[in-house]
Structure 1
Amino acid sequence: MKSALTPLIGFQLTMLFTLQLNLLPAVSLPCRSFCGTIPVKYPFGVDEGCGAPQYKGMLNCSTDLFFLTPSGNYKVQSIDYDKKTVVVYDPAMSTCSILQPHHDFLMSDIQSAMIPPASDTVFVLLNCSIDSPVLNHYKSLCFNFSGHTCDELYGACTSFKLFRLLSNSSPPCCFTGYDTVKYMSMNILDCSHYTSVYDTDRLKGIGPLDWSYGIKLSYAIPDTGCERCMRSGGTCGFDTQTEGTLCICSSSSNSTRECAGGSLASTVGNQSPFKRSFRVLLSVLTAVLGAVL
C-alpha cells in the first residue's frame, strides 16, 4: 500500500515546494549608496523605488552619475548634502578653453520646481546680436555679475577672443539667470554661445580663467519622516506603484516608517505574505495527507 502511494506523495511534495517558492515575496535589490565616487543619499536614488518619488528618474548611474533632463544628460560633478546642492556640467557649453555651438539647457517643470539652478549660478550669453531681446525690450534680464564685464571675458579667454577678432570689437553679452534661458531659446535670444558659472558670490576680483564652470542646482528634501527610517538602519524609498513612502530594511523586507518592529509594507490588511503562504501550504498538505490516508 505504501509503495503504491509513494509516487503520488512525491508528486504532491514537489508541487508543495514549487508553490512555496512562488508564494515567497519578491526580493528587491538594495539601494546603491554610491555611483562611482559620488555618494547617493536621500532624496536621490539610482535604483527603482529608492529615494524620494519626487526625484525619481532624475539621476542615472552608468559608469558615472548623470542628471537627466529633456535637453540631455549632464554629468554630476558633486553633491553637497549639507548645503543641498548638486553641481552638474554641460559638455555642450563653451568655456574659456573651448568654443562649442550653442545648446539649450532645459529642465522639466518638476525639475524647475524641485531642483532649480541655485541663485549663485549665472548663465552668460555670448556674442549676442544688437537685435537680441536681452539688449532691447528685455534688457532688465541682464545684471551685473560681481563687477565683471563682457570685455573681460573676450579678452581673457582664448576661446572667446575669436568673437572680438571677427568683429574688431567686443560684441554684446549678457549675465542672466536660469529663468531667461528657460523661457527663451538661444535662437530667440540671438546669442551664438553660452556658458554657465557657479559660486559667483566668491568670484569678485577673480578672472574668467579661474571661474567655476558648470551649473549648481539647489534642492529641497521632502518631509516624509526619512530620519526615523535611517535611525533604525533602513534606507528611504517608495512604493513604485503607489509612490507611498517606504523604509527599505533589507533586500527582502520593507516597512512603512522604521525597520525595528515596523509593519511590513507589503502586507495586505493584517496578513503578511508569509502567513498567506502558510495557510495555502497547510491546505495543500491536508490534501496530501488525505490522499495518503
Structure 2
Amino acid sequence: MGSLFTHKSQPETRPATCSFFFLIIQLILPFLSLATAQASLCRTSCGNIPINYPFGIDDGCGSPYYRHMLVCSDAGILELRTPSGRYPVRNVSYSHTHILVTDPFMWNCLDGDNFRPTRPFSLDTSTHFSLSPQNEYLFFNCSEEDVIIQPKPRFCDHFPDRCDSSCDSASHLCRLLPDCPSALSGSSCCSYYPKATESLRLMLTFCASYTSVYWKNIGEPQPYDQVAEYGIRVDFDIPVTTRCLQCQDTLKGGGTCGFDTRKQNFLCLCEEGNVTTYCKDQEAISGHNRRVGVIAGTVTAVSAAGAIGIGAGIFYWRKVRAKAPVTCGVQSNENRRF
C-alpha cells in the first residue's frame, strides 16, 4: 500500500514578500479594532431588559467601572459575569440600583430532596457591585458536627456573642419555603447570612446544597410590603459626574455617556461624533472631528489610512518583486538567497 504522504523533489515556488504584507496587516488591525469600538452604537436593551447608564453591553458605552460585566448572549439573554461564572439577569432596577440574577446551580422547588452539585456565587470585591443585605441564604442537610444548627432566638438567648455564627433552623423561610412550603420531606433546612464569599464556600463544604432568597418590595402597607422570591440581589453604584449629566441633558443634545476604550476617559457619544463635553458643543465636535473623526466617519477615516498603507505596500512590493524572489516560508535551490 502506498504512503499517505507524497514526496516532491522541488517545492513549489510562489512570488512573495508576504512578510511585508504581514507587517502592514499588523499595523492596520489595531486601528480597525479601535474603529469598531468607537463606531459601534450603544444598544439600549437586551431582550426585554433596558440597558441604561452606568451599564453598557457594547464596549465604550456606560461607565468603565462596569466594563465587560454585562453580556448580551446571541439568544438575547442578559448575563452578569462574575468570578464564579455567568448568571442570567432577571431584572435591572435603576431607581433602586440593584440587579436580580438567577443561579441555575442553586436548589429550587423542583429539586425537592434531590440535591444537585452546586457552586458558591461570588462577586469581585474590587468592583462597584455588592451582595444586597436583603438576601437570605437557606442551607440544606448541613452536618450538625460542623455547623451550629439551632433555632436562633433560643441560641441567641444562651450565646449572644455567637448568635451570628448559628444557622437558624426555625426561620420563617425554612418553615414556609417560597412557592413550595412542603418541598422538603426528610431534609433539614437552616437560614444563614454569610458575611463573605469565604463563609459561603465554607458552609457548602458541610451542607448538601443552598439557595438564595431576596425580599421583594411590592408597595403594600407594612408589614405586608415584602414577599420572598428566589434569586440573588446584587446592588450597584451609579457614578454620577457633571460631565455625564451635561451629556445626557436633552437641552444640550441628549447624548450617551461612554468612555474611550483605550484610555477609559469620559466621552459623550453623539450622532455627530464623540466629544468630552456635550453634543451641542459645536466647537468641541468640530475640533474632535478634525483630530479623530466622528462615530460614523471613524471606519471611513481608518479605512482610508488602511488604503494608503496597502497602496504603499503594493508599490513597495512591485519595486522589490524582481530583486527578492523569496517565497513565504518555502525555499528551494532556485530561490535560496544564501
- The TM-score normalised by the length of structure 2 is 0.60
> Contact conserved, 1:121 with 1:200, CA < 8 A, in 2?
no
Aligned equivalent of 1:259: 279
Supply the distance in 2 between the matched residues of 1:41 and 1:149 (Cα, whole angstroms): 34
Question: Residue 272 in 1 paired to residue 272 in 2?
Answer: no
Gaps of 5+ in 2: 1-30, 151-160, 294-300, 302-338
**Matched residue, 1:115:** 129
Identity of aligned residues (%): 30
* Displacement after TM superposition at 1:123 (Å): 1.6
Mapping for residues 168-179 of structure 1, pairs under 5 Å:
171=188, 173-177=190-194, 179=195
Counterpart pick for 1:148 among 167, 172, 186: 172
Question: How far off is 1:101 after superposition?
Answer: 2.4
The answer to whether residue 65 in structure 2 is matched with residue 54 in structure 1 is yes
Report the equivalent of 2:92.
Answer: 79
User: CA contact under 8 A between 1:224 and 1:245: conserved in structure 2?
Assistant: no
Q: Which amino acid aligns with 2:98?
A: T
What TM-score, normalized by structure 1, do the two folds share?
Answer: 0.68
Equivalent residue of 1:109, what SS? coil
Partner of 1:32: 43
The 2-side partners of 1:78 and 1:240 are apart by 27
Q: Greater CA deviation, 79-88 or 40-49?
A: 79-88
**1:1-293 alignment runs, 5 A limit:** 26=35, 28-62=39-73, 63=75, 64-98=77-111, 99-111=115-127, 114-133=128-147, 135=149, 140-142=164-166, 148=172, 150-153=174-177, 157-163=181-187, 171=188, 173-177=190-194, 179-186=195-202, 189-199=205-215, 211-225=228-242, 226-231=244-249, 232-250=253-271, 253-261=273-281, 263-264=284-285, 267=288, 272-273=291-292
Asked whether the equivalents of residues 137 and 210 of structure 2 are also in contact (C-alpha less than 8 Å), the reply is yes
What residue in structure 2 maps to residue 290 of structure 1?
Answer: none
Unaligned segments of structure 1, at least 5 residues: 1-21, 164-170, 278-293
- Matches of 1:138 and 1:264, distance apart in 2: 62
Q: Check conservation: 2:89, 2:100, Cα contact below 8 A.
A: yes
Are 1:236 and 1:246, in contact at CA under 8 Å, matched by a contact in 2? yes
The Cα of 1:253 is off from its aligned counterpart by 1.3
| 2-structure distance, mates of 1:84, 1:147 | 28
Distance in 2 separating the partners of 1:187 and 1:236: 42
Q: For 1:119, give the aligned amino acid.
A: P
Change (3 A) 1:246 1:255: same
Q: CA deviation at 1:219?
A: 1.1
1:232-257 C-alpha deviation (Å, 9 max, x unpaired): 2111111111111111112x610112
